[in-house]
A and B are shown apart, each in its own frame.
Chain A
Amino acid sequence: MKNLKLVTALAASVALPSAGFATELEVTHWWTSGGEAAAVAELAKAFDAGGDKWVDGAIAGGGSTARPIMISRITGGDPMGATQFNHGQQALELVEAGLMLDLTDVAEAEGWKEKVFPPSLLEACTVDGRIYCAPVNIHSPEWLWLSNKAYADAGIPVPTNWNEFVASAPQLEAAGKIPLALGNQAWQSNLAFGAITVAVAGLDIWKQVNVEKNMDVAAGPEMAAVFAAVGDARKLAAKSTVQDWNQATNLVLTGEAGGQIMGDWAQGEFQVAGKVAGTDYTCLPGLGLNAYLSTGCDAFYFPKNDDPEIEAAQKRLAALLVSPEVQVAFNLKKGSLPIRGDVDLAAANDCMKKGLEVLAGGNLLPTGDMTWSPDVVKQNEDLMVEFFKSDMAPEAAHAQWVENLKSGL
């Protein structure tokens, strides 16, 4: 039986599209912005080419809207064929409850262990020695995107790091620009906070707080400096009233705002708009201060199904997602980095190359999603969005932040 399945899978991967193998697989994800949708289309194209049918289940509104829907479908007994998660702790309980398909045999057949780089990506997919998800890209939130046009309009050079950016803000404002574009959604405030933490406090402090979970360091003077810097950012973003991240990116794109702290997925928007890295926009990994990137990751999980045909199709898709061709096609469109080091990204642009350099240099750190539970992340999101939109003192926010972390110990 097992052999038969393997034969079927192999046959499907080489055979011409034929009705006999066509299995419909619904795939849910939250990639709905222009650049993201173009990237997903690449995945669908590759899957359909293998003779199966990709049924797109895009859920608009970002991960925080999409995840509850996905989770209730899985726990409610209506599993989709495959679903995106940021891997780490988001799907951990679902895996532990036995609701996810074990992909260890696919991973061994395809040699994921040797090929996935950095290895931490696969480790985050692993629970009790078994592999439960297929990583598709590395996304790092610690980027500052700058509009060359905005700085040209204001008649000043484009900053090369966060400190210069803050210093240049008054001139930008005088030229009628918003210095920092920031969407109103809670996760975006938290993302900005995370990026500023790495940039201002540096890797050691970050690790002591988020990996070793040393609460004395969290309450210490280094983090107080971070909160002061976030207070600066709050002043710069005061005039930004948009909701979604891509609306904020659009402000940078059109030169109405000086910059935005956002993950590398913002690059997809610049690309769709036909902007060129280096001349139209500038990117600073690690905000130009500490070029460290956290290796957050989008991964696909495959909820368990009773139908063996669907299971075979799920495994075909899992193998496909990690394959080099799909990795290149997908990541070039999305502007993110591939999860394996052995692919050729000659077509990569300026910003992706900067990212690849950081990656190759090993300046990596795990994301908050991997080290803290969603509960703590949510509390910090609430805190950050409140902080950014009120006149809360940085010291009060700092104290509350430490409390939030403690609740997750």
Chain B
Amino acid sequence: MAEAQRTTRMWRNLNAKIAAIPMVLTTLVVFVGGTAWTVLYSFTDSKLLPRERWVGFDQYERLWSNSRWLTSIENLMIYGVLSLIFTIVIGFVLAVAMDQKIRFEDTFRTIMLYPFALSFIVTGLVWQWILNPEFGIQSIVRGLGWESFTFNPLDNPDLVLYGLLIAGLWQGTGFVMCLMLAGLRGIDEDIWKAARVDGIPTWKTYVLIILPMMRPVFITTLVLVAAGIIKLYDLVVAQTSGGPGTASQVPAMYVYDYMFQAQNLGQGFAASTMMLLSVLIVLIPWAYLEFGGRKHG
């Protein structure tokens, strides 16, 4: 009896299962297979072409004593934390503002979302020009008569990260706003009515009632934004190419440079394995929260 049940379950939705086979194979071979291969070869001294000469953890030791890699990690942490906080806070505030039944909401929403339609390369170049002292903000303000005004973050090692952050926020917050807005619209109107009957102020309703109810939206946003931060590459390449000096380097650039420019695959693989680890650190808790809880609940 149980046997028969299992068989029928296996044959249920047969068409859908057959249709999924190519994707499953792609996932297994390209993603899982490629990942395993990369991790494996990070323990070799492969140069331009991969070869199986095992060197243990040598590549990792070199990686973690390299000042450029350490700078990259530090930059990523600063950029990541600030970017996470600001995109989510600004995104949420914008969404709440949109939710006040304002006029021309569609127009505003489109304007806010437009930067997201641009690639990071375009964003990076646009902001490189805006922040360039020769023809950007500095020259405009000086043109208005304030001659001593100096604003040149991209050439200052201490400020360059914030130059990147501005560009990243400009590009990303519109999208977060849309996610948040969808979450807000998903809240039952009755809850608002009940809160109003109880005489709770609007801001308190948002913070104490709506926010906790939007937990799934927040978690999804968090994961999307965090994954985007870890793979941060094209924005930096376009805007600063890692400079001045090594002040705005990020791990993905290290991986690329060492795999292809330095022709040292082993070192590049070790760095990309470390990046994979950090992605997993973000993804596993999310998967646990999203899927783990539901079984019991």
- Beta-carbon contact of B262 and A389 below 8 Å: no
State how many angstroms separate the Cβ of B164 from the closest Cβ of chain A.
Answer: 15
Answer whether residue B60 sits at the interface, using C-beta atoms and an 8 A cutoff. no
Contacts of A64 in B (CB 8 A): 261
Other A-B pairs, 7, CB within 8 Å; known A71-B48, A387-B245: A72-B260, A374-B261, A375-B264, A382-B246, A385-B243, A386-B68, A389-B245
* Contact status of A93 and B245, CB under 8 A, knowing A241-B155, A407-B62: no
Contact of A374 among B49, B66, B247, B263 (CB under 8 A): B263
Answer whether residue B234 sits at the interface, using C-beta atoms and an 8 A cutoff. no
Contacts of A97 in B (CB 8 A): 49
State how many angstroms separate the Cβ of B239 from the closest Cβ of chain A.
Answer: 11
Q: From A69, which residue of chain B is reached at the shortest CB distance?
A: B260
Determine the distance from Cα of A67 to Cα of B257 in the docked complex, in whole angstroms: 11
Determine the distance from Cα of A373 to Cα of B258 in the docked complex, in whole angstroms: 12
Answer whether residue A214 sits at the interface, using C-beta atoms and an 8 A cutoff. no
Answer whether residue B47 sits at the interface, using C-beta atoms and an 8 A cutoff. yes
Answer whether residue B67 sits at the interface, using C-beta atoms and an 8 A cutoff. yes
* Contact status of A378 and B258, CB under 8 A, knowing A241-B155, A385-B246, A400-B67: yes
Chain A 352-396 against B: per-residue CB contact (8 Å), 1 yes, 0 no?
000000000000000000000111011100100111111000000
- Beta-carbon contact of A390 and B157 below 8 Å: yes
State how many angstroms separate the Cβ of A135 from the closest Cβ of chain B.
Answer: 21
Contact of B260 among A68, A390, A400 (CB under 8 A): A68
Give B254-276 interface residues, CB cut-off 8 Å to A.
Answer: 256-264, 267
- Beta-carbon contact of B68 and A93 below 8 Å: no
Answer whether residue B34 sits at the interface, using C-beta atoms and an 8 A cutoff. no
Contacts of A389 in B (CB 8 A): 157, 243-247
Mostly helix, strand, loop or mixed at chain A's interface? helix
Determine the distance from Cα of A359 to Cα of B10 in the docked complex, in whole angstroms: 78
- Beta-carbon contact of A375 and B245 below 8 Å: no
Interface size on A, residues (CB 8 A): 29
Chain A 300-338 against B: per-residue CB contact (8 Å), 1 yes, 0 no?
000000000000000000000000000000000000000
Answer whether residue A185 sits at the interface, using C-beta atoms and an 8 A cutoff. yes
Contacts of B257 in A (CB 8 A): 378
Determine the distance from Cα of A90 to Cα of B62 in the docked complex, in whole angstroms: 22
Q: From A241, which residue of chain B is reached at the shortest CB distance?
A: B155
* Contact status of A243 and B246, CB under 8 A, knowing A68-B261, A375-B262, A407-B62: no
Contacts of B247 in A (CB 8 A): 389-390
Answer whether residue A168 sits at the interface, using C-beta atoms and an 8 A cutoff. no
- Beta-carbon contact of A184 and B241 below 8 Å: yes
Chain B 62-102 against A: per-residue CB contact (8 Å), 1 yes, 0 no?
10001110000000000000000000000000000000000
Determine the distance from Cα of A145 to Cα of B67 in the docked complex, in whole angstroms: 32
Answer whether residue A94 sits at the interface, using C-beta atoms and an 8 A cutoff. yes
- Beta-carbon contact of A388 and B245 below 8 Å: yes
Give B207-265 interface residues, CB cut-off 8 Å to A.
Answer: 241, 243-247, 256-264
The 3 closest A-B pairs by CB, nearest first: A389-B245, A68-B260, A378-B262
Q: From A90, which residue of chain B is reached at the shortest CB distance?
A: B263
* Contact status of A94 and B48, CB under 8 A, knowing A382-B68, A390-B157: yes
Q: List 16 A-B contacts (CB under 8 A).
A: A67-B261, A68-B259, A71-B48, A94-B48, A97-B49, A184-B241, A184-B243, A185-B241, A373-B47, A374-B262, A378-B258, A379-B262, A382-B246, A385-B245, A386-B68, A386-B245
State how many angstroms separate the Cβ of A352 from the closest Cβ of chain B.
Answer: 31
Contacts of A90 in B (CB 8 A): 263
Contacts of A386 in B (CB 8 A): 67-68, 245-246
Answer whether residue A75 sits at the interface, using C-beta atoms and an 8 A cutoff. yes
Contacts of A67 in B (CB 8 A): 260-261
- Beta-carbon contact of A243 and B262 below 8 Å: no
Determine the distance from Cα of A26 to Cα of B42 in the docked complex, in whole angstroms: 34
Determine the distance from Cα of A60 to Cα of B118 in the docked complex, in whole angstroms: 22
State how many angstroms separate the Cβ of B9 from the closest Cβ of chain A.
Answer: 43
Contacts of A75 in B (CB 8 A): 49
- Beta-carbon contact of A378 and B261 below 8 Å: yes
Determine the distance from Cα of A244 to Cα of B279 in the docked complex, in whole angstroms: 34
- Beta-carbon contact of B263 and A375 below 8 Å: yes
Contact of B47 among A241, A243, A375, A387 (CB under 8 A): A375
Chain B 27-39 against A: per-residue CB contact (8 Å), 1 yes, 0 no?
0000000000000
Contacts of A377 in B (CB 8 A): 262
Give A64-94 interface residues, CB cut-off 8 Å to B.
Answer: 64, 67-68, 71-72, 75, 90, 93-94
Contacts of A378 in B (CB 8 A): 257-258, 261-262, 264
Contacts of B262 in A (CB 8 A): 374-375, 377-379
Contact of A93 among B48, B66, B67, B246 (CB under 8 A): B48
- Beta-carbon contact of B244 and A373 below 8 Å: no
Determine the distance from Cα of A71 to Cα of B268 in the docked complex, in whole angstroms: 16
- Beta-carbon contact of B48 and A184 below 8 Å: no
Contacts of A72 in B (CB 8 A): 260
* Contact status of A71 and B260, CB under 8 A, knowing A382-B68, A386-B67: yes
Determine the distance from Cα of A71 to Cα of B243 in the docked complex, in whole angstroms: 25
Q: From B134, which residue of chain A is reached at the shortest CB distance?
A: A241
State how many angstroms separate the Cβ of B226 from the closest Cβ of chain A.
Answer: 27
* Contact status of A243 and B241, CB under 8 A, knowing A64-B261, A68-B261, A94-B48: yes
Q: From B69, which residue of chain A is reached at the shortest CB distance?
A: A382
State how many angstroms separate the Cβ of A192 from the closest Cβ of chain B.
Answer: 14
State how many angstroms separate the Cβ of B266 from the closest Cβ of chain A.
Answer: 10
Determine the distance from Cα of A184 to Cα of B259 in the docked complex, in whole angstroms: 22
Contacts of B264 in A (CB 8 A): 374-375, 378
Contacts of B48 in A (CB 8 A): 71, 93-94
Contacts of B47 in A (CB 8 A): 93, 373, 375
